[in-house]
Structure 1
Amino acid sequence: MPRWIELDELANLRDVGGVPTTDGGEIAPGRLLRSDNLQTLTDADVDALLALGVTDVVDLRSDYERDAEGPGPLTKTSVAHHPHSFFREWREGVGEDKSDDPDAAEAVEERPEAVPDEALPWVDLEPSVALENEVAGVYLSYVADRPDSVLAGLRHIAEADGAALVHCAAGKDRTGTLVALALLLAGADREAVIADYAASSERAQRILDRLLASDTYAENLRGRPLSSHLSRPETMRAFLEHVDATYGGVEPMLERLGWTGDDTARLRAKLRD
């Protein structure tokens, strides 16, 4: 059962504590939370997150999304914010593409075209990794296109002083991918990880309603059926099966990008008692 946390302005907030591990244990509660956009938190919501021990936020939204939405209420607190877009982005005055990484090109299929910084995550873009399950291909593209963000996000979870909270816009695709990787590295049972990913479907209508209320997302979402917003277990399963078949598992894939055994040990220590 997902550990839902009910706040006024979040539809998809939950603690992944309690997810079973392969050795008969479980992920410790109060260490890793996942959610949708934090942009419209009430004062009471902010107080609740602080009371839950949140010290670090890993924000997977694109630069465009963050700029369009502006600073959220939680940025006015002592909580550390770590922005790590999962899309390749160039920005005027910043310089070369920050996702270039020679190790990444060797480890995963490269994306032929960059995602412009004005693109929203669900704009119809060709993923750099083509799979029969197109959404699973998008998840693989996160790793291919932004290995820097994937590794940094995992390290921020491991190094957080208190609870780390990972979010994007809906809290299901980008967030679901990073959280799945973190849980598997910590020894979580694969089917339990897939079930946690799929739990976002329980809140699909609420998530969609919140996004439609935002000028940043509404135009791109109107007219799309609710079914297109579901987190289907077969999607995460296809993603993980491709990782296994191509790289031998999550950890070997990430090691080719610069992840280390010490990184895994720190993450495991963070998420396990």
Structure 2
Amino acid sequence: MYDGALNFREVGGLPTADGRRRLRRGLLYRSGTPQLMSEEAARRMVEETGIRLVVDLRQEKEAAEEGQGGLAAAPHTRISAPFLVAAAQQAGSSVPVMQAVDPLVPHYLGYLPSSEDSILRLFRALADPATGPALLHCTAGKDRTGAAVMLVLDAVGIDRGAIVGDYVAGKDEIAAVFDTLIALPSYGERLAALPAEARTTERETAERYLVQLDLRFGGIRGWLRDHGFTADELRALEDTLTEDS
């Protein structure tokens, strides 16, 4: 669609669990790193989608080293909201260390205690109706971005089957994305050290993640409430991101 935009897609039209509302179209997008985009491709993406906000979920050091590519020249507001985990990074790399068995669900759950400020910054930005269409991105567009999108969708009551469907939608692109990232200095061949399961987006991963959110935190709504996100802010988020079916 846009040359150099890894794993880019819109997240829109998904129904709420009660079927009465749906996620607004043209308001939420997700992708991997934009650093490989030319200025021409990035400007066309911004013009055609209306994206005004870019939420960068990468570590600050990682983002500084890798940059935004052509997107830096396109008109938008960028906010840094790094999703971090307690696990150490591989030496000299932004690639995390993941456990060999069941690497992804514990990894995703680790974002919540390690990235409180970033999660709240993300939610408050999306709750503002003046923000306009937003792009959430990390590097591969599957883990930090995948977890962040699941949190947002669950917070506004999107049907969990639809949430899981969005998580797996980019599955066929992941191998090519990882092949591309191996050539980048922040990731390189250290990606090969990740367990095979860490290079997939399976339904069962998203399903268990959502269940564990409920069990450990009372769901993302419970987590938000416990961290000072008010009922008025949650209503604003719902009003901004969803509409009547």
User: What's the TM-score, normalizing by structure 2?
Assistant: 0.88
Q: Which amino acid aligns with 2:96?
A: V
Is the 8 Å Cα contact of residues 164 and 206 (structure 2) preserved in structure 1? yes
Aligned to 1:218: 188
Aligned-partner SS, 1:166? strand
Q: Deviations over 1:220-247 (max 9, x none)?
A: 1247676541011211211111121233
Matches within 5 A, 1:59-70: 59-70=56-67
Residue segments in structure 1 that go unaligned for 5+ positions in a row: 1-5, 89-110, 127-131
Separation in 2 of the partners of 1:115 and 1:262?
37
State how far apart, in whole Å, the 1-side matches of 2:153 and 2:189 are.
34
Q: CA deviation at 1:26?
A: 1.9
- Give the drift of 1:135: 1.2
CA contact (8 A) 1:154 1:267 kept: yes
State whether structure 2 residue 229 is matched by structure 1 residue 259.
yes
Structure 2 distance, partners of 1:17, 1:123, is 30
208, 228, 231: which one aligns with 1:238: 208
1:86-125 per-position Cα deviation (integer Å, ceiling 9, x unaligned): 126xxxxxxxxxxxxxxxxxxxxxx5x77699551x3315
1:16-63 deviations in whole A, cap 9, x for unaligned? 112121232321111100000011212332122212110000000012
* In structure 1, C-alpha distance between the alignment counterparts of 2:198 and 2:219, rounded to whole Å: 28
Partner SS, residue 58 of structure 1: strand
User: 2: distance between equivalents of 1:258 and 1:117?
Assistant: 35
- TM-score, L = length of structure 1: 0.80
In 2: Cα distance, 1:225 partner to 1:116 partner: 13
> Within 5 Å, which residues of 2 pair with 1:1-273?
6-24=1-19, 25-51=21-47, 52-87=49-84, 111=86, 119-120=93-94, 122-124=95-97, 133-159=102-128, 161-222=131-192, 228-273=198-243
Kept in 2: contact 1:12–1:207 (CA 8 A): yes
Identity of counterpart residues, as a percentage?
A: 33
CA distance in 2, matches of 1:178, 1:225: 22
Residue 209 of structure 1: CA displacement? 2.3
Aligned equivalents of 2:81 and 2:92: distance in 1? Answer: 16
